[in-house]
Amino acid sequence: MRHQYQSANSCPARYVGLAKAEVMAERIRQINPECRVTVVDDFVTPDNVAQYMSVGYSYVIDAIDSVRPKAALIAYCRRNKIPLVTTGGAGGQIDPTQIQVTDLAKTIQDPLAAKLRERLKSDFGRSEKQ
């Protein structure tokens, strides 16, 4: 509960209750108004990832919270050489200054990232470094 309270208090009130994909899109447009952002606020699955990605994106920002669809999206982007920024788990984290940008292979103390590495290796026969 403490984490949820802190998160809500560090977020501008106009964003509370909005989908994180929409908030991220707005933030990107604030940073660069010329950036064209397509929001996919839906459940991406291994079965529909190709359908969503067939549009031909230049970059992908992933904020999926579930391992299986997250791994499918990452694998699709790698196969098709689409640059990707992905997020790890934030559950239980209370200090946003500790967020680090690193390769998936170098993440520590992130159960979502650990499960994701395992899934990529088992389902797609490769590690995140390949």
What is the reported pTM? 0.77
CA distance 128 to 118: 9
Structural domain including 84 reads: 19-124
- Tokens 């196969």: give the residue: 79
Report whether 55 contacts 47 (CB < 8 A).
Answer: no
CA distance 39 to 81: 20
C-alpha 9: how far from chain center: 22
Report whether 72 contacts 44 (CB < 8 A).
Answer: yes
Asked whether residue 11 is domain-assigned, the answer is no
Asked whether residue 3 is domain-assigned, the answer is no
Asked whether residue 14 is domain-assigned, the answer is no
pLDDT band at 100 (very low <50, low <70, confident <90, very high): confident
Residues 38-92: tens digit of each pLDDT: 998 888 899 999 999 988 899 999 988 899 999 999 999 999 999 999 988 877 7
CATH number of the CATH domain containing 111:
3.40.50.720
Strands of 1-130 (E only): list them: 60-62, 84-86
The count of domains in the chain is: 1
